[in-house]
Structure 1
Amino acid sequence: MPEERPPISEHEYEDQLEPTHLIRRSHVVLRAGTMMLGAGTSALRVREVMSAVARTVGVQQVEAQVTFTQIVLTVGRRGIFRTQVGETRPSVDADRIARLHQFSHELPERERAIDVEARLDAIEHQPRCYPTWLLVTLVALACASVSVLSNGGWREVLAVLPASALAYTAHRALTRLQFNLLAVVLTSAALASALYVGFAALITAVAGAPSPRFAAGFICASIFLIPGFPLVTAGLDLTRLDLDAGVPRLTYAAMVLLAMAIGVWLVASIAGVSPAPVAPNEGHPAIVWTALIAASFFAVFGWATMFNVPLATAVASGVVAVVGNVPRLLLLAADVKPHVATFVGCVIMGLGCAVVAGWFKMTKIIMTVPTLLVSIPGSSALRTLIYFDQADIVSAIESGVSTVLVVVAMVAGLSGARMLTDPEWAFTRPDAKQRG
């Protein structure tokens, strides 16, 4: 007589019905997407990486809804479909974006899901590009360089350097402790501004007279808090009508900017910072322009390292920033409207990033974001806050509108450059990349 098999339990029966082959593949596709999204890039690039992994592991159908912090993924294979949700926290890691981008382009035609998982493990455990002490130094140098671009003098540079270094160190410590993000931003902005006022007072005590350019460096001590990646990638997402990702990302950036503005405003109102524009630096043109060119490079280079951009790419971003920022500064010197000058400069920088990235096989987005930040209208934003505090509503609205127009010009300039150099941005056809 044939041996009777033991009865199958309900749980074992359910396990047999589970499409384990699809579960493993779905998990690895979603993991690649959440890693890319968590690194801070646009929704288009997230979908691009997920599609590449899906092809490699043999998933035939992929549909993904990508928001700012969440991915809803549906995959299909052999007539079976599975939906899975992944979530991540907002952060920026340019090196991870570059590695995932390269990973997606180097995947073989077919590979087991477990082997793709091993590749993702290696990327996830990759150490950061710069030690903390060097990062703090370079971020402080970037903030000091922005003060030069804002018409600050040597006193402002000397005050910004230690103020931004100490505030950035505190910001990193508070972030690691996972305090509320907006509270951390507000506290860091207030600390940076207060430290700047304190160091400026010490320099005034030694020099014997207050600096007429004090306001030029005030906002620069906390400029490292600008949410550059969310702001720029939000603009790119909205350009492609990826509203699910672009609107929340823009909202997030606006909330961070508001928290930063409140922190700076609190100190500005106590310190009595003047809202009057600071006149350009005087001196021999060769010396002035050398300082502006060096400041353009080091501002972008420092920002790039803060975003964990690899060294070669950070240097390339600094060089492209100089090429684009010099025409912008010349146009401003010729009394061209700030938003027009910014648009021209950002188009040049966007085109430059596309060309250099193509030559040296670099990732465009991690070059572009720090490069564009050299055009950030920090001074006019500060003036807007101070005018509101002084109940000068007309001046506040004028300054605020100018600030918004410059930010829009930055995103428009980058988007225009992308459309000229990347068919995926110029067209909405699914085969745009192949046709391009």
Structure 2
Amino acid sequence: MSTTEPTPHVHLSANHHMAIPWHSFVRDENRPVTKASLTERATIVGRVGIIMLSCGTGAWRVREAMNTIARALRLTCAADVGLITIEYTCFDNGRHYSQALSLPTSGVNTDKLTDMERFVNQFSATCLLLTPKEVHDRLDQIQKKPGNFSAATAGLASALACAAFTFLLGGGPIEMVCAFVGAGAGNYSRRLMGARRITVTASTAVSVAISCLAYLLLFKVLELTLGISQAHEAGYIGAMLFVIPGFPFITSGLDMAKLDMRSGLERGTFAIMVITVATITGWLVALLVHFEPQNFIPLNLSFGVQLGLRLLASFCGVYGFSIMFNSPRKLAAFAGLLGAVANTLRLTLVDFAMPAAAAAFLGALVAGLLASAVNRDTGFPRISLTVPAIVIMVPGLYMYRAMFNLGGNHFDVGAAWLVKALLIVVALPLGLAAARILTDSAWRHVD
């Protein structure tokens, strides 16, 4: 007796996270999606969710998008969302269909997130007469949409953001120029590694090392040619701040505020991992080249000049981070304006002796309230506006100083910096959560 293997219908993926052949679920190309089988409809719900998750948004927004599609297709959906995974079940008249989906890595793409939110919001009006194949074709267009910016442009964006970040930390022109070069080189290399699918720990460590060494090289050139002071080496911390995982940090807090504990804890763990790898790498490079995290040389600016420069630097920093997140220039500009107002308010409150964590809470609250207003007028996702606007408030300097002192066995000093950083990190998502509670009736309720 002989046996024969069944002929495969689709090409099997060679990836470790095997790519799903979504079109293979289509059974009848002439039937509208509302008349399709449970499997075909449930698959569309899951695909919408996993694309939303790949854009970096939090569990509540992913589930809300899946629910919107499910209701339009006359399904009930229950989903459990993590950092890179979704397990969900769709129910229809006593029958059910379940899937487990996963991503190879976590990323951020605010442009694709905007397209997906628009697709979800318009689904009932534009897609119910389409066939499942046509719906998947539209999702193909969004999923395969190329990035808006090249690696070189992303490098320039990070250079602008980190130079502005350095000024806001207290650095002057020399520190800003060196941070500009260091961050540009670091993020450019990270983008190249990302295109080659290098794992996040390796790409983070290598890109931070490159940024610190580029800062060192330019600093030594300026020291030999212009005789600049050793005190200007303090700005090297600003050169590595492009790796701050703003989206996981903020969405972690928002998810936990909505009791999406799995997603919140996974996102928080991912953010801590990236920060730990970055700070350890920066610390090791500093040990090798004998850099220390000194205080910046005071700039002695008047209140009016300082206020104006803070507004400008905050706008440039947030604009640069938005471009790094693949935001269209218009969205990046709106985020920059929000960040200029919110971050300048935060820094001014600190100048008037308000505790840094309280000032961070109020800055994030203002950013969230302004983002809600912009969202109503433009349709840009709130998260795409608020995260770039407040990522510049994340205390990367405090985190690095904590690691530097803990690594040098100065536990009392290191612990003090670590506690200061933790208070601010907790305050930022709480401020955004408060803004969402005040402005979003759907988000403030549990049902």
The two structures have a TM-score, normalised by structure 2, of 0.88
Q: Describe the SS at the equivalent of 2:100.
A: strand
> What pairs with 1:365-384 in structure 2 (closer than 5 Å)?
365-384=383-402
Structure 1 residues 213 and 332: CA distance shift in structure 2, 3 A: farther
Q: CA deviation at 1:173?
A: 1.6
Which region of structure 1 is more displaced relative to structure 2, 273-282 or 242-251? 273-282
| Matching of residue 78 in structure 1 with residue 93 in structure 2 | yes
Q: Which moved more, 1:270-279 or 1:394-403?
A: 270-279
SS at match of 2:392: helix
| Pair 1:185-2:204 in alignment | yes
Q: Which residue of 2 aligns with 1:4?
A: none
In structure 2, distance between residues paired with 1:376 and 1:269: 24
CA distance in structure 2 between the partners assigned to 1:234 and 1:171 by the alignment: 23
Q: Does 1:39 align with 2:58?
A: no
> 1:306 is matched by which residue type in structure 2?
M
2:84 counterpart residue number? 69
Question: How do 1:62-141 and structure 2 match up within 5 A?
Answer: 62-88=77-103, 89-108=105-124, 110-111=128-129, 112-141=131-160
Rounded to whole Å, the distance in 1 between the matches of 2:401 and 2:373 is 36
Q: How much does 1:55 deviate?
A: 2.7
1:419 deviation in Å? 1.0
Q: Alpha-carbon deviation of 1:279?
A: 5.2
Post-superposition Cα deviations, 1:176-201, rounded to whole Å, max 9, x if no partner, equal 22223212211211221121122111
Q: How does 1:194-343 map to 2 (within 5 A)?
A: 194-215=213-234, 217-278=235-296, 280-343=298-361
Q: What are the Cα deviations for residues 196-250 of structure 1, in whole angstroms up to 9, with x where unaligned?
A: 12211111222213153431x2111111111111111111111100012111111
CA displacement, residues 224-281 of structure 1 (integer Å, 9 cap, x when unaligned): 1111111111111111000121111111111111111111111122233334433542
| Pairwise CA distance, 1:349 | 1.1
Contact map agreement 2:171 2:297 (CA 8 A) in 1 = no
Equivalent residue, structure 1, for 2:193? 174
**Following superposition, which runs of at least 4 residues in structure 1 exceed 4 angstroms of deviation?**
none
Matched, 1:401 2:419: yes
Alpha-carbon separation, structure 1, partners of 2:332 and 2:361: 22
CA shift in 2, pair 1:346/1:156, >3 Å: same
Mark the CA change 1:425 to 1:277 in structure 2 (over 3 Å): closer, same or farther: farther
1:321: how far off? 0.8
1:362 to 356, 365, 380: 380
Cα pair 1:269 1:389 within 8 Å, conserved: no
Partner in structure 1 of residue 65 of structure 2: 49
Cα RMSD between the aligned structures? 1.9
Distance in structure 2 (CA, Å) of the matches to 1:257 and 1:407: 12
Contact 1:151 1:213 in 2 (8 A): no
1:153 aligned to which of 172, 183, 187: 172
Q: Distance in 2 between matches of 1:383 and 1:209?
A: 23
Which of 35, 42, 45 is 1:26 aligned to? Answer: 42
The structure number with the bigger radius of gyration is 1
Distance 1:220 1:398, change over 3 A: same
| Distance in 1 between residues matched to 2:136 and 2:179, nearest whole Å | 44
Distance 1:22 1:416 in 2: 39
* Aligned partner letter, 1:392: H
Residues 78, 90 of structure 2: 8 Å contact kept: yes
Return the offset for 1:54. 1.9
Q: Deviations over 1:370-395 (max 9, x none)?
A: 00112121222222122223322111
Question: Structure 2 CA distance, aligned partners of 1:408 and 1:294?
Answer: 26
Q: How many angstroms does 1:38 deviate by? A: 1.1
Query: Which moves more between the two structures, 354-363 or 144-153?
Result: 354-363
Identity %: 29
CA distance in 2, matches of 1:284, 1:253: 37
- Give per-residue Cα distances to partners, 1:35-59, cap 9 Å, x unaligned: 0011111111111211222233x34
Quote the residue 2:14 is aligned against.
none
Kept in 1, the 8 Å contact 2:152–2:188? The answer is no
Rounded Cα–Cα distance in structure 2 between residues aligned with 1:275 and 1:311: 34
Larger CA deviation: 240-249 vs 70-79: 70-79
Change (3 A) 1:280 1:113: farther
Aligned to 2:108, the other structure's residue is in SS state coil
TM-score (norm 1): 0.90
| C-alpha contact (below 8 Å) 1:276/1:383 kept by paired residues | no
Report the 3-state secondary structure (helix = DSSP H, G, I; strand = E; otherwise coil) of the residue aligned with 2:77: strand
Q: Is the 8 Å Cα contact of residues 231 and 294 (structure 2) preserved in structure 1?
A: no
